[in-house]
Amino acid sequence: METNDIVDGYRRTQDAFDAVLAAVPSQRWNAASACELWTVRDVVGHVIWGLEVLRHHVTGQEYTERTGPPGSENPGELAGDDPLAGWRATREATAAALTDEVLDLPAAPWYEALRPGVKVTDHLEMLTFDTLVHTWDIGSALGMDVRLEPDLVARSFSLARLIISRTPSTFGPKLAPPPDADKQTRFLAFLGRSV
């Protein structure tokens, strides 16, 4: 896939995530999300953590924060008192670090250990997948009708088949979607999300 398409998908997914966060009532940040054991605030903190991992890597800095990875406890600490503002500040700082020069660099060592030979653009694809799923996790838990862009669902579905691990704190067992399910429903069922 072309680098421009990868970057475009990454940005569009972030736009969708931002739109869902902007619709979260202030009293609902500590509500349960569709991610087992995580609140809405926790999901935002996890997504912030993912961007910080990327930003630190491409700027040559070590990032040792351990409260945000999949399955961690209390990733909401990274989102702070105003998760929308925290997300937007992190998004802006990461965007500033994603220059054309860094896109072909090798990905962070932990990600390269999972998929040897990957580059920063591959890391962007992984973050696109992660942010897309968590957009639905937050919105659906709060009663929003979240419709994900079909081309991003298709790309993320392909990636999901390669990278997901099924544990209670990440992705549950694959569910059987209805026979007439659309691509989004089949994607979410594959990830153990019940629509």
DSSP codes joined into one string, 23-43: TS-GGGTTSB-SSTT-BHHHH
% of residues, the chain, pLDDT over 90: 71
* pLDDT of 114 above 80: no
pLDDT tens per residue, range 31-47: 999 988 899 999 999 99
* pLDDT of 167 above 80: no
What does pLDDT average to over the chain? 91
Per the DSSP assignment, residues forming a β-bridge with 39 are 32
* Choice between 56 and 169, residue whose per-residue pLDDT is larger: 56
pLDDT tier for residue 168 given thresholds of 50, 70 and 90:
low
- Lowest-pLDDT choice from 32-41, 98-107, 109-118, 138-147: 109-118
> Any idea where the domains of the chain sit in the sequence?
3-190
Burial class for 30, CB neighbours closer than 10 Å (0-12, 13-18, 19+): exposed
Quote the pLDDT of residue 169.
61
Q: How far apart are CA 185 and CA 178, in angstroms?
A: 8
Kindly report the CATH class assigned to 3-190: mainly alpha
CA distance readout (Å), 174 to 38, 93, 140, 187 = 20, 36, 18, 10
Do 106 and 118 meet the contact criterion of CB atoms below 8 Å apart?
yes
- Lowest-pLDDT choice from 113-117, 131-135, 176-180: 113-117
